[in-house]
């Protein structure tokens, strides 16, 4: 086993960390959420705001969390306990563990839909005149099928996590991430070479600043948090498996860059195909599960490309789910002394149970969707996690390093192992002032905006 002097398991190679971390970052958020958020929020205008959010908030926070993890060599709760003993700051770590729990519970539901569609796309693509909205709604309003796929997804996640950091996570991402990139390139090439693809590219990239409101800004910031897996201790946990010789500023740059490029590219795999085959871009989550199967049904070799697409989406979801379960598992191993196998199985099963209402929200609990009082349980989990819990976690972690533990110590830690590029005073300014002010302002505006609707 690859253990350090402290007996903790460590990544076997530098690329192991980069692949695992970008596997966490690249997920449903890039392929399912980013394109429809962009489509709904003013195209390129949203992209510009998103890129600003990534530079001003995403990168600094990712470095911040990774530093906390590496210096403490502990899970999020233990990390705060180590750096600020006897203080209540460990609650920020606990908030992160709780958030991971909530996100994975509904993430596995959507990932289950994706697994199901690897097979469904074959049947859907073959039948002429099939109403895809109907197929999707029939799938999610069925009680057992989505639950079965959600369970299978959780079993896969638990199997990898129970095998450990190197033998489980690192081995899995080393196989899956290269496959992911090849599939993505294939799908983009297919989409942009369809006749009429240019219109989709124009739709995707045309800036419309009139769509930009307080909610758009909140949308961009919460998307950055979600997409980069920030604000809940993933990077504290993954950073705790780093050696002192590993370069944090450069590796973090690679992770942020990869995640952003994949989000942008996902739009190029989707919109050109949607327009080329004469479909509406279709707002909202239905884009991937309703519009795309219809697009594949009409495309030459569409069944094959459809299958590749949902396979790609499932890989992306799995490598992200690994990090979510790892945070919770690492907490039980470090703080409660549980065995890895027991921790991952007990938590995986509990998270599956907590996710059931989100899945059943479209069948058994559909009664909540009354005409005046519509609650989509899955959306509610999503909103709670992305618009409140993640930004709050990021804000508190920035305040902790900026004002309690100290940015000098953080910069010193980050410079260990760094050759060439490292962080300096500019990073401290971002963490102490820019990050907290932007997050606080956007959370307040977003909440007021939603209340005033």
Contact residues toward ligand PFF (CB under 6 A) are 24-25, 27-30, 100, 103, 226-227, 229, 232, 234, 320, 323-324
- For the bound state, the minimum distance from the C-beta of residue 25 to ligand PFF, rounded and expressed in Å, comes to 5
The residue (of 73 and 320) whose beta carbon lies closer to ligand PFF is: 320
Q: Which is nearer to ligand PFF, 302 or 391 (CB)?
A: 391
**DSSP-assigned states of every residue in 4-43:** -TTS-B--SSHHHHHHHHHHHHSSHIIIIIHHHHHHHTTT
**CB of residue 101 to ligand PFF, shortest distance in Å:** 11
Residue 397: CB minimum distance to ligand PFF, A: 13
In degrees to the nearest 10, what's the CA dihedral of 169, 270, 53, 58?
Answer: 10
Q: Are 317 and 107 in contact (CB under 8 A)?
A: yes
CA 158 from centroid of its chain's CA atoms: 18
Q: Residue 447: which residues within 8 A CB-CB, separation 6 or more? A: none
CB 387 to ligand PFF: min, Å: 13
In the complex, least distance from residue 116 CB atom to ligand PFF, rounded to whole angstroms: 18
Cβ closer to ligand PFF: 274 or 322? 322
Task: State which residue, 220 or 232, has the beta carbon closest to ligand PFF.
Answer: 232
Nearest C-alpha neighbor of 53 from the set 70, 34, 68: 34
Could you give the C-alpha distances from 73 to 48, 132, 252, 380, in angstroms and in order?
36, 48, 18, 34
Pick the closer one to ligand PFF by CB: 294 or 332.
332
Answer for the pair 339, 319: CB distance below 8 angstroms, yes or no: no
* Look-up of token digits 């930004």: 391
CA nearest to 251, candidates 15, 442, 89, 6: 15
Shorter beta-carbon distance to ligand PFF: residue 135 or 234: 234
Mutual angle of helices 171-192 and 197-205, in 10-degree steps: 110
Task: Give 132 or 323: the residue with its C-beta nearer to ligand PFF.
Answer: 323
- Residue 348's SS3 state is helix
Nearest CA to 146 among 375, 381, 363, 367? 363
Q: Token pair 């010789």 is at which residue?
A: 245
Please report where in the chains the tokens 């959306």 appear, as a residue: 379
Measured from the CB of residue 323, what is the shortest distance to ligand PFF in angstroms?
A: 5
Residue 217 tokens read as 């800004």
CB of 103 to ligand PFF, least distance (A): 5
Rounded least distance, CB 386 to ligand PFF, Å: 8
* Nearer Cβ to ligand PFF (114/229): 229
């Amino acid at each position: 086993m690859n253990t350090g002097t402290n007996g903790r398991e460590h990544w076997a190679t530098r690329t192991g960390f980069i692949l695992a971390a970008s596997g966490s970052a690249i997920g449903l958020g890039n392929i399912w959420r980013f394109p429809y958020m962009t489509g709904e929020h003013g195209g390129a205008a949203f992209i510009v705001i998103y890129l600003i959010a990534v530079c001003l908030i995403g990168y600094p926070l990712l470095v911040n969390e990774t530093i906390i993890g590496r210096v403490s060599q502990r899970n999020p709760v233990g990390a705060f306990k180590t750096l600020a003993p006897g203080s209540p700051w460990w609650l920020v770590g606990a908030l992160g563990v709780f958030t991971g729990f909530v996100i994975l519970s509904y993430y596995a539901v959507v990932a289950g839909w994706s697994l199901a569609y690897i097979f469904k796309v074959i049947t859907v693509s073959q039948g002429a005149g099939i109403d895809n909205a109907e197929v999707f709604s029939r799938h999610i309003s069925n009680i057992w099928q989505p639950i079965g796929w959600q369970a299978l997804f959780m079993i896969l996640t638990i199997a990898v996590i129970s095998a450990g950091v190197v033998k489980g996570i690192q081995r899995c991402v080393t196989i899956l991430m290269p496959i992911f990139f090849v599939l993505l390139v294939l799908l983009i090439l297919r989409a942009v070479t369809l006749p009429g693809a240019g219109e989709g590219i124009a739709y995707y990239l045309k800036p419309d600043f009139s769509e930009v409101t307080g909610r758009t800004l909140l949308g961009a910031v919460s998307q950055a948090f979600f997409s980069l897996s920030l604000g809940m201790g993933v990077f504290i946990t993954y950073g705790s498996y780093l050696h002192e010789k590993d370069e944090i500023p450069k590796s973090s740059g690679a992770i942020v860059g990869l995640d952003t490029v994949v989000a942008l590219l996902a739009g190029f795999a989707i919109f050109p195909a949607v327009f080329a085959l004469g479909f509406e871009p279709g707002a909202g989550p239905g884009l991937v599960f309703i519009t795309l199967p219809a697009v594949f049904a009409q495309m030459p070799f569409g069944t094959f490309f459809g299958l590749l697409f949902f396979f790609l989406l499932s890989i992306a979801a799995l490598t992200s789910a690994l990090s979510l379960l790892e945070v919770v598992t690492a907490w039980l191993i470090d703080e409660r002394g549980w065995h890895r196998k027991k921790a991952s199985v007990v938590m995986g099963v509990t998270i599956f149970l907590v996710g059931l209402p989100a899945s059943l929200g479209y069948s058994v609990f559909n009664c909540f969707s009354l005409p005046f009082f519509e609650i989509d349980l899955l959306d509610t989990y999503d909103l709670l996690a992305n618009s409140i819990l993640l930004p709050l976690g990021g804000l508190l972690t920035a305040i902790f390093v900026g004002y309690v533990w100290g940015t000098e110590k953080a910069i010193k830690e980050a410079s260990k192992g760094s050759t060439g590029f490292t962080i300096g005073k500019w990073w401290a300014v971002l963490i102490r002032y820019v990050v907290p002010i932007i997050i606080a302002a956007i959370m307040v505006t977003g909440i007021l905006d939603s209340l005033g609707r």
